[in-house]
């Protein structure tokens, strides 16, 4: 009987194998058919692109167009976070971190047919480093005074020498779209998978397939698969969502958690939660000496104990659960765990403990009187948190923080201001007590945040433009940031930035609250989409996306 | 004829004076608004201190509002309306690109509103049924109570054209006036007598009603243009229509002084021209009547 069963099992096994093989064959056939499909991909830009010049990009919409049209020497793979060759087949960094040499691919042309060579790379670098350009992309390369030297060794070889070491130099070229030095079409001649075909101000940007794009897929088929990409300029997110539901759009990047849940209940196959993103939400106190706030409040805000106590009294799990419907993770520090290499794994999110917070405050002379916290001079602990009006998530976070701090006798006033007013208070008048805001991080490398952490910089938000560091821990951060920036040894850089993260978590100049998840929606008609946490989440592999008829 | 010339001349003078004053007032208000001097780009951590300073320097010439305004007037006389700070494009191009859509939106919206208003008002005057009066009063009253932004949102939700939202915003204002006017004119003794003598409704309408109501309706038409222009801002902003209204909204949020001054002048110009045209045409019609 057993033998019979085994025989029948043996008979069944090949049968299943045959079916499985047939399914696989059918799947690959369908896959090929999908790959053959092309069509038009449609999604929204949330603002008008300010420029089509890739070197001048400073807004998200222009950045999207640069990503889709620009050819770069090297590209950070948004999935693996590794650097991959693109127009450059190989590259070599000098030991002192000041020079990089590229070996370029030969026989490539721009979208208008102009030949690509090392001269174009030299031209692009010279344009980018023009001091009058004031572009964020160019500024990222500026680590010291002096000129950048480009040396063309052959049509396919170039070396670029910077006046001072530039940390993470090779990865910075991910943002540098190469321009043609000879094309009459200037920045409209591109090396990327798509090119700008039409632009209707305030309405749409139409990108068409670049006929001269150099890449092919594994089967030898020319990339990109798509014929075109239609980018509708749509600032209203409700309208974007409605249009996605109607099938007029194929993708939504950076989806709100509320929309995500609504869509997930009706069409779970459309939504993607890629996990914690690089973006963080944080709270900080005004530590500017000349700010027009009372002296006793300045004393609170300068106290690390006070800041730590506030941090301890905020329930981050609640913020994630209530405000973001679980689509956010309590933040451990300046960098999100999503940043695989640079995140300091030793750091853990602050544990919620109102009792611990109260003890810390008592050690600083604060005392509780009739449910109200008072400082050693008898001043009631009252402060206001400002955030940008219209951002419902931040408004809700501020209210939850208000409730949390009320538990330790601190009265918080929540004030919402429109963005220009908030920026003015934050950067010019310094007329605020605490700010709740987010940091959109597109860089994996800490060097991209140099202007946040250096005490002398404009973006050192809790106390900017310090002539000399006002505290010993800020001096230490300055030292470590400069050390990591001037070293080409990745291990040493990591050690230095790990130390920066530890100091920031210990001193809490920024009280990091949560890291939002990377949420997106992709229509089922889009093939090849694999949303990731890095920007651009859904179309990072645009050249391999295809759209079938709905 | 001389009288008409004086009227046109007076209107032209008033238009120019109001435009100049309106532009200056708008520039002053924007300059005094909180956050005028702030630029979102300053928060970009990639920008170094020199670039942030350069951004601030670029706005320095706007600090003295009189200097800015005189320089603006001087340049605009040479066809240069300045460059938008938020969008980085010439204001002339921005307005040129967006004007056609707003013009279409307003024309269609106003056309629909007036068609609906006059049809219902004439029906009310002809039918003289209290139930019809109640019905139209409730309908127009409801639309009068609904904020423009809500109507715009409903048009987004139901995928209706923005011009319909404009029409429904303008309609209750024009309908109530037109209805009252027509009912009053149709109750005049000579119209009642004409009806008693068996004159056709069309003949009564065109020979005895239209000449009487035209000057007053023209005055309301002028005002309805201002209402429609005001409604275009929330409608375009919420419906995602790339017109001048959406541009005005973006400019206000970004404290974009060059763009806001030009849009204010443009809106003032349209409103004044509509009102002046209504006044002059009404004057001509009245003179013909006499």
Summarize pLDDT for B193-230 with one digit per residue, the tens.
888 888 888 888 888 888 888 888 988 998 899 999 99
CA angle at B140 for the pair B137 and B143, rounded to the nearest 5°: 145
Q: Can you give the pLDDT at residue A550? A: 63
Q: Can you give the pLDDT at residue A3? A: 43
Q: Can you give the pLDDT at residue A33? A: 42
Q: Can you give the pLDDT at residue A14? A: 47
Using a CB–CB cutoff of 8 Å, tell me whether B50 touches chain A.
Answer: yes
Closest-approach residue (CA) in chain B for A62: B87
pLDDT top residue among A443 and A227: A227
Using a CB–CB cutoff of 8 Å, tell me whether B9 touches chain A.
Answer: no
Model pLDDT for residues A81-100, shown as the tens digit of each residue = 999 999 999 999 998 889 99
* Longest CA pairwise span in chain A (Å): 92
Check CB contact under 8 Å for B254 and A420. Answer: yes
Token reading at A446:
């800490």
pLDDT top residue among B282 and A347: A347
Q: Can you give the pLDDT at residue A2? A: 42
Q: Can you give the pLDDT at residue A12? A: 42
Closest-approach residue (CA) in chain B for A45: B240
Q: Give the Cα separation of B80 and B59 in Å (integer).
A: 18
Residue A15 confidence (pLDDT) above 60: no
Chain mean position to CA A245: 26
pLDDT bracket for residue B161 (50, 70, 90): very high
Check CB contact under 8 Å for A421 and B38. Answer: yes
Token reading at A520:
């997106």
- How crowded is residue A355: how many other Cβ atoms within 10 Å of its Cβ? 11
Q: Can you give the pLDDT at residue A416? A: 96
Model pLDDT for residues A150-201, shown as the tens digit of each residue = 999 999 999 999 998 888 899 999 999 999 999 999 899 999 999 999 998 8
Q: How far does B151 lie from chain A, in Å, by closest CA? A: 14
Q: Give the Cα separation of A448 and A175 in Å (integer).
A: 12
Check CB contact under 8 Å for B35 and A420. Answer: yes
**Among B42, B49, B240, which would you mutate to test the A interface (most chain A Cβ atoms within 10 Å of its Cβ)?**
B240
Model pLDDT for residues A417-449, shown as the tens digit of each residue = 999 899 999 998 999 999 999 977 778 889 888
- Rg for chain B (alpha carbons), in Å? 24
Write the residue in B51, B88, B94 that is nearest to A139 by C-beta. Answer: B51
Write the residue in B47, B88, B247 that is nearest to A139 by C-beta. Answer: B47
Mean pLDDT estimate for chain A:
90
Using a CB–CB cutoff of 8 Å, tell me whether A58 touches chain B.
Answer: yes
Residue A202 confidence (pLDDT) above 80: yes
Mean pLDDT of B72-98: 88
Q: How far does B148 lie from chain A, in Å, by closest CA? A: 16
Using a CB–CB cutoff of 8 Å, tell me whether B208 touches chain A.
Answer: no
> Residue A97 — left, alpha, or beta (φ > 0 → left; ψ -120 to 50 → alpha)?
left
pLDDT bracket for residue A29 (50, 70, 90): very low
Closest-approach residue (CA) in chain A for B236: A236
Check CB contact under 8 Å for B156 and A236. Answer: yes
Q: Can you give the pLDDT at residue B255? A: 85
Q: Is the peptide bond before A224 cis (omega within 30 degrees of 0)?
A: yes
Q: Can you give the pLDDT at residue A30? A: 43
Q: Give the Cα separation of B283 and A329 in Å (integer).
A: 70
Write the residue in A236, A421, A459 that is nearest to B240 by C-beta. Answer: A236
Give bridge partners of residue A75 from the DSSP assignment: A84
Using a CB–CB cutoff of 8 Å, tell me whether A85 touches chain B.
Answer: no
Closest-approach residue (CA) in chain A for B94: A201
Model pLDDT for residues A462-502, shown as the tens digit of each residue = 999 999 999 999 999 999 999 988 887 889 999 999 999 99
Using a CB–CB cutoff of 8 Å, tell me whether A136 touches chain B.
Answer: yes
Check CB contact under 8 Å for A58 and B44. Answer: yes
Check CB contact under 8 Å for A420 and B253. Answer: yes
pTM for the model: 0.83
Q: How far does B48 lie from chain A, in Å, by closest CA? A: 6
Write the residue in A423, A449, A450 that is nearest to B43 by C-beta. Answer: A423
B93 CB neighbours in chain A (<8 A) are 201
pLDDT top residue among B64 and A297: A297
For chains A and B, count residue pairs whose Cβ atoms are closer than 8 Å: 124
> Residue A296 — left, alpha, or beta (φ > 0 → left; ψ -120 to 50 → alpha)?
alpha
Token reading at B236:
């375009």
pLDDT top residue among A432 and B77: A432
Q: Can you give the pLDDT at residue B288? A: 64
Check CB contact under 8 Å for A452 and B37. Answer: no
Q: Give the Cα separation of A511 and A436 in Å (integer).
A: 9
Using a CB–CB cutoff of 8 Å, tell me whether B235 touches chain A.
Answer: no
Q: Give the Cα separation of A329 and A319 in Å (integer).
A: 9
Check CB contact under 8 Å for A420 and B34. Answer: yes
Closest-approach residue (CA) in chain A for B43: A459
pLDDT bracket for residue A27 (50, 70, 90): very low
Residue A542 confidence (pLDDT) above 80: yes
Residue B35 confidence (pLDDT) above 90: no
Q: Give the Cα separation of A101 and B223 in Å (integer).
A: 68
Q: How many CA atoms lie within 13 A of A483 on its CB side?
A: 16
* Longest CA pairwise span in chain B (Å): 87
Q: Which of B149, B147, B143, B210 is nearest to B175 (CA)?
A: B143
Q: How far does A327 lie from chain B, in Å, by closest CA? A: 26
Using a CB–CB cutoff of 8 Å, tell me whether B289 touches chain A.
Answer: no
Q: How many domains does chain B have?
A: 1
Domain that holds residue B138: 2-289
**Among B40, B44, B48, B58, which would you mutate to test the A interface (most chain A Cβ atoms within 10 Å of its Cβ)?**
B48
Using a CB–CB cutoff of 8 Å, tell me whether A239 touches chain B.
Answer: yes
A46, exposed or middle or buried, with CB in 10 Å at 0-12, 13-18, 19+? middle
**What percent of chain A is predicted at pLDDT more than 70?**
93
Mean pLDDT of A132-141: 86
Q: Which helix (H) or strand (E) holds B232?
A: helix B210-239
For position B115, which CATH number holds? 1.10.3720.10
B47 CB neighbours in chain A (<8 A) are 134, 136, 139, 451, 458-459
Check CB contact under 8 Å for B40 and A419. Answer: yes
Q: Give the Cα separation of A281 and A276 in Å (integer).
A: 12
Q: Can you give the pLDDT at residue B289? A: 56
**Among B45, B59, B235, which would you mutate to test the A interface (most chain A Cβ atoms within 10 Å of its Cβ)?**
B45
B34 CB neighbours in chain A (<8 A) are 417, 420-421, 424
Mean pLDDT of A345-357: 95
Residue B238 confidence (pLDDT) above 60: yes
Q: Note the ipTM here.
A: 0.75
**What percent of chain B is predicted at pLDDT more than 90?**
32
Write the residue in A58, A200, A421 that is nearest to B34 by C-beta. Answer: A421
Model pLDDT for residues B60-74, shown as the tens digit of each residue = 777 788 888 888 888
Residue B14 φ then ψ, to 5° = -65, -40
Chain mean position to CA A542: 18
Q: How far does B169 lie from chain A, in Å, by closest CA? A: 21
Check CB contact under 8 Å for A134 and B38. Answer: no
Cα-based distances in Å from A150 to A227, A304, A445: 36, 47, 24
Write the residue in B48, B89, B243 that is nearest to A139 by C-beta. Answer: B48
A234 CB neighbours in chain B (<8 A) are 240
Q: Can you give the pLDDT at residue A28? A: 43
A236 CB neighbours in chain B (<8 A) are 156, 237-240
């Amino acid at each position: 009987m057993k033998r019979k069963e085994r025989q029948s099992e043996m008979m069944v096994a090949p049968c299943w194998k045959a079916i499985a093989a047939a399914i696989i064959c059918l799947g690959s056939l369908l896959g090929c058919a999908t790959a053959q499909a092309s069509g038009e991909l449609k999604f929204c830009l949330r603002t008008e692109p300010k420029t089509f010049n890739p070197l001048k990009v400073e807004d998200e919409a222009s950045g999207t167009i640069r990503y889709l049209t620009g050819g770069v020497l090297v590209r950070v793979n948004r999935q693996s976070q590794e650097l991959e060759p693109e127009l450059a087949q190989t590259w070599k960094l000098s030991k002192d971190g000041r020079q990089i040499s590229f070996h370029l691919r030969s026989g490539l042309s721009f979208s208008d047919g102009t030949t690509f060579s090392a001269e174009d790379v030299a031209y692009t670098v010279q344009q980018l480093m023009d001091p009058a350009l004031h572009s964020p992309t160019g500024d990222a390369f500026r680590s010291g005074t002096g000129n950048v030297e480009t040396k063309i060794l052959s049509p396919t070889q170039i070396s670029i020498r910077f006046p001072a070491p530039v940390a993470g130099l090779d990865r910075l070229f991910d943002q540098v779209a190469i321009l043609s030095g000879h094309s009459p079409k200037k920045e409209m001649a591109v090396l990327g998978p798509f090119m700008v075909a039409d632009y209707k101000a305030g309405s749409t940007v139409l990108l068409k397939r670049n006929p001269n794009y150099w890449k092919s897929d594994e089967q030898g088929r020319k990339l990109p698969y798509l014929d075109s990409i239609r980018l509708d300029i749509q600032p209203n997110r409700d309208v974007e969502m409605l249009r996605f539901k109607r099938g007029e759009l194929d993708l939504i990047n950076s989806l709100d958690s509320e929309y995500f849940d609504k869509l997930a209940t009706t069409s779970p196959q459309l939504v993607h939660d890629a996990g914690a993103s690089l973006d963080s939400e944080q709270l900080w106190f005004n530590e500017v000496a000349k700010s027009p706030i009372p002296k006793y409040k300045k004393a609170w805000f300068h106290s690390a104990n006070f800041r730590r106590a506030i941090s301890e009294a905020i329930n981050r799990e609640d913020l994630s659960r209530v405000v973001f419907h679980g689509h956010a993770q309590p933040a451990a520090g300046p960098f999100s765990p999503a940043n695989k290499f640079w995140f300091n794994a030793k750091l853990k999110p602050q544990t919620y403990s109102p009792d611990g917070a109260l003890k810390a405050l008592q050690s600083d002379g604060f005392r509780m009187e009739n449910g109200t916290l008072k400082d050693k001079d008898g001043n009631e602990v009252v402060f206001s948190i400002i955030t940008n009006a219209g951002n419902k998530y931040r408004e809700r976070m501020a209210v939850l923080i208000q409730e949390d701090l009320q538990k330790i006798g601190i009265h918080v006033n929540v004030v919402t201001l429109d963005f220009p007013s908030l920026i003015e208070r934050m950067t010019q008048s310094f007329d605020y007590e605490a700010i709740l805001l987010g940091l959109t991080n597109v860089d994996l490398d800490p060097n991209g945040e140099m202007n946040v952490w250096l005490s002398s910089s404009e973006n050192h938000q809790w106390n900017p433009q310090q002539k000399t560091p006002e505290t010993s821990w800020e001096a230490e951060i300055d030292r470590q940031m400069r050390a990591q920036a001037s070293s080409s040894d990745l291990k040493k850089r990591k050690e230095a930035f790990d130390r920066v993260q530890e100091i920031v978590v210990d001193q809490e100049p920024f009280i990091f609250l949560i890291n939002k998840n990377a949420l997106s929606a992709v229509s089922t008609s889009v093939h090849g989409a694999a949303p990731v946490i890095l920007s651009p989440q859904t179309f990072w592999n645009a050249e391999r996306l295809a759209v079938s008829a709905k | 004829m001389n009288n008409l010339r004086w009227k046109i001349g007076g209107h032209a003078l008033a238009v120019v004076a109001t435009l100049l004053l309106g532009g200056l007032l708008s520039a002053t208000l924007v300059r005094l608004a909180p956050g005028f001097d702030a630029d979102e780009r300053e928060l970009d951590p990639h920008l170094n201190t020199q670039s942030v300073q350069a951004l601030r320097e670029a706005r320095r010439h706007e600090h003295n509002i009189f200097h800015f305004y005189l320089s603006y007037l001087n340049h605009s006389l040479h066809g240069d309306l300045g460059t938008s700070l938020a969008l980085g494009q010439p204001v002339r191009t921005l307005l040129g690109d967006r004007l056609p859509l707003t013009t279409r939106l307003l024309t269609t919206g106003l056309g629909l509103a007036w068609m609906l208003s006059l049809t219902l008002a004439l029906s009310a005057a002809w039918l003289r049924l209290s139930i019809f009066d109640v019905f139209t009063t409730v309908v127009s009253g409801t639309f009068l109570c609904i904020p423009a932004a809500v109507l715009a949102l409903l048009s987004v939700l139901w995928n209706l054209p923005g011009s319909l939202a404009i029409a429904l915003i303008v309609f209750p204002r024009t309908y109530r006036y037109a209805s009252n006017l027509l009912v009053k004119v149709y109750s005049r003794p000579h119209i009642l007598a004409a009806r008693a003598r068996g004159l056709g409704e069309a003949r009564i309408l065109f020979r005895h009603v239209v000449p009487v109501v035209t000057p007053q309706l023209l005055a309301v038409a002028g005002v309805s243009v201002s209402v429609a222009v005001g409604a275009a801002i929330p409608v375009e902003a919420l419906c995602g229509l790339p017109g001048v209204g959406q541009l005005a909204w973006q400019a206000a949020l970004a404290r974009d002084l060059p763009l806001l001054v030009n849009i204010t002048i443009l809106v003032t110009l349209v409103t004044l021209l509509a009102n002046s045209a209504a006044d002059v045409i009404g004057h001509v019609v009245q003179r013909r009547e006499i």
